[in-house]
Structure 1
Amino acid sequence: MSSPTPAPAPTSAADTTSGVDLSFVASVVDWLQANIMQIIGAFAVLVIGLLIASVLSRAAERALKKHPRFDPTIAELLSKMVKYALWAVVLVTVLSQFGVQTASILAALGGMALAVGLALQGTLSNVASGVMILVQRPFVVGEAISVDRFTATVQRIGLFTTELKQFDGLFVMVPNSELWNQPIINLHRHPTRRIELIVGIGYGDSMKDARETLLALAAADERALDDPEPQAFVASLDDSSVGIGLRVWCATGDYMALSWDLTEAAKAAFDDKGISIPFPQREVTMVSAA
């Protein structure tokens, strides 16, 4: 009589788990063996691409900082843009090593960039204006400018805003787009400036004496330049006075002080010579009824 066949031993949970782990490891090893060349190529592209991006961005920053028309801020910004653009190229190249269709990824990134650009339209406008200000350099830090309703000294130029300090000491922060889209008068860009002083004298006073007096004041002040030479002239014939003008060139730094001093000296000199500076006058004729 044959003995009964023993029943197979039940498989333990540990053996099942071990079998799953071994099969997963085996599949990973098989995938690595099948794609080892693509992995090596992608790793090489990644490393070399990042190194090239770093080297080129630093080289671009050094070259831009040496150029006199590029501010250090804009040089740093452009170098970062070069680096990020190269990173994007490296990423697309690495993905293509594994057969990933990069066209759809690029299309998605383009759509995202468009959406972000529309959402940040005002902010990007300030950034674009800041870049143009830093490149074109209509003003630099330390120069005084007059734009819109502000006349102030430039304290800082950023990518989004420009910080100004008014002559009365008040702090002003102006968006770059507002500065770039309006005429800018730079009060300190040129080394010399012209002062034009107009003083009204009475119709009964000598215009020649008034002109000679103003020219003598300009000649006596060493801040007044000889070239171009000062000019005195009859500027206007007003209702109650004759406008006598004086044009004097001076160094830009002396403009305000010399303008104030010439105005005060003109009043004192006219008083000494008996040249009147009349008040507005009106003649009233009374007509009696017949």
Structure 2
Amino acid sequence: MEDQTTNIVVATRTALDQASALAVQYGFSLLGAIILLIGGWLLAGIISRSAYRVISRIRGIDETLASFFQNVLHYSLLILVFITVLGQFGVQTASIIAALGAAGLAIGLALQGTLQNIAAGIMLLILRPFRVGEYIETANVKGYIKEIGLFATEMKTADGLYLMAPNSTLWNTPIINYSREPDRRQQLSVALADNIDINLARKTILDVLKADQRIKNTPAPKVYLDDLAVDQAVLNIEYWTVTTSWSDVRHDTVSKLKARLAESDVAIKLPTEPASQAD
């Protein structure tokens, strides 16, 4: 009986000693893991915020792109901290990294189209082929830029309609930006009736162009004969004006030319080139 009691006491003490040793061992591991989590969380925030400040100061980097890089860096650091904490408890982190890589590959394949839009959005924000407020035209869409996001670009058509274009469709196609350059050329044509004094018509047109202060003197306006049909001569008109007033100047010039040529007894037909930008 005494032997059994002694054995029980010895077994109990052994179990307590082992439990105490395990508690001390894992207690330090748990304490280290908590400290590592808190420190890693704070350090990830400090590093990501510092990176955001540095990136946002780079010329041409949009705030949306800077925030995206900040979030990517922040969560990447948190994942690294989490894997390090698991290593504190003896977990094989190599298998976790492999599993994360496989999961990332699967997610990438499933979201291939979305990732293409994100990549295109990053390139659009870096290279800036267009900015908010500018009018652009591609093979598929045209309109004013309202907002450039990572997934899609919000636009407003000349008719006032809302348009959202995936970034991949804007990145993989030629883009015409009507607002980027400060000056823009205008082209018109005047069809003169038969037996009309071409020199008189040309002088009258040049007088109208030079009288408008919105039309630039350099490059100088041009009026030239480029086509001679059987029953009429066609005078081509070229002038440069500020991009922001391009449409207004075009409309006013057509009206003034029609009135002035009529006053000069110049019989005309006045076809004009259709505007490629919304009026």
TM-score bracket for this pair, using the shorter chain length: 0.7 to 0.9
* Preserved contact between residue 240 and residue 278 of structure 1 (Cα < 8 Å): no
Range with greater deviation from structure 2 (221-230 or 89-98):
89-98
- Counterpart residue number, 2:171: 180
The one of 40, 46, 53 aligned to 2:44: 53
**How far is 1:23 from its partner?**
10
Report the TM-score when normalising by structure 1. Answer: 0.82
For 1:211, give the aligned amino acid: R
> What do residues 88-141 of structure 1 show as CA deviations (whole Å, max 9, x unaligned)?
221222222222211111111111111111111111111111111111111111
Instruction: Give 5+ residue unaligned stretches, structure 2.
Output: 1-11, 272-279
Relative distance call for 1:239 and 1:184 in structure 2 (3 A) is farther
* Preserved contact between residue 190 and residue 270 of structure 2 (Cα < 8 Å): no
Relative distance call for 1:54 and 1:75 in structure 2 (3 A) is same
For 1:263, give the aligned amino acid: V
Report the TM-score when normalising by structure 2. Answer: 0.85
> What do residues 193-220 of structure 1 show as CA deviations (whole Å, max 9, x unaligned)?
1111122213422222222222111111
**How far is 1:239 from its partner?**
5.7
- Counterpart residue number, 1:131: 122
2: CA distance between counterparts of 1:185 and 1:167?
15
1: CA distance between counterparts of 2:72 and 2:205?
59
- State the secondary structure of the residue aligned to 2:256: helix
- Percent identity over paired residues: 38
- Counterpart residue number, 1:5: none
- Counterpart residue number, 2:236: 245
2: CA distance between counterparts of 1:87 and 1:71?
25
* Preserved contact between residue 189 and residue 270 of structure 2 (Cα < 8 Å): no
Matched, 1:266 2:257: yes
Aligned residues: 262
- Counterpart residue number, 2:4: none
2: CA distance between counterparts of 1:261 and 1:89?
65
* Preserved contact between residue 240 and residue 279 of structure 1 (Cα < 8 Å): no
- Counterpart residue number, 1:91: 82
Matched, 1:110 2:101: yes
* Preserved contact between residue 241 and residue 278 of structure 1 (Cα < 8 Å): no
1: CA distance between counterparts of 2:224 and 2:259?
19
1: CA distance between counterparts of 2:71 and 2:249?
47
1: CA distance between counterparts of 2:270 and 2:85?
84
- Counterpart residue number, 2:224: 233
- Counterpart residue number, 2:276: none
* Preserved contact between residue 190 and residue 269 of structure 2 (Cα < 8 Å): no
- Counterpart residue number, 1:162: 153
- State the secondary structure of the residue aligned to 1:232: strand
* Preserved contact between residue 86 and residue 93 of structure 2 (Cα < 8 Å): yes
* Preserved contact between residue 198 and residue 235 of structure 1 (Cα < 8 Å): no
- State the secondary structure of the residue aligned to 2:60: coil
- State the secondary structure of the residue aligned to 2:268: coil
- State the secondary structure of the residue aligned to 1:159: coil
- State the secondary structure of the residue aligned to 1:123: helix
- State the secondary structure of the residue aligned to 1:46: helix
Instruction: Give 5+ residue unaligned stretches, structure 1.
Output: 1-19, 281-290
1: CA distance between counterparts of 2:270 and 2:249?
25
Relative distance call for 1:88 and 1:270 in structure 2 (3 A) is same
- State the secondary structure of the residue aligned to 2:236: strand
Relative distance call for 1:138 and 1:239 in structure 2 (3 A) is farther
- Counterpart residue number, 2:211: 220
- Counterpart residue number, 2:6: none
Range with greater deviation from structure 2 (240-249 or 69-78):
240-249
1:191-202 aligned within 5 A: 191-202=182-193
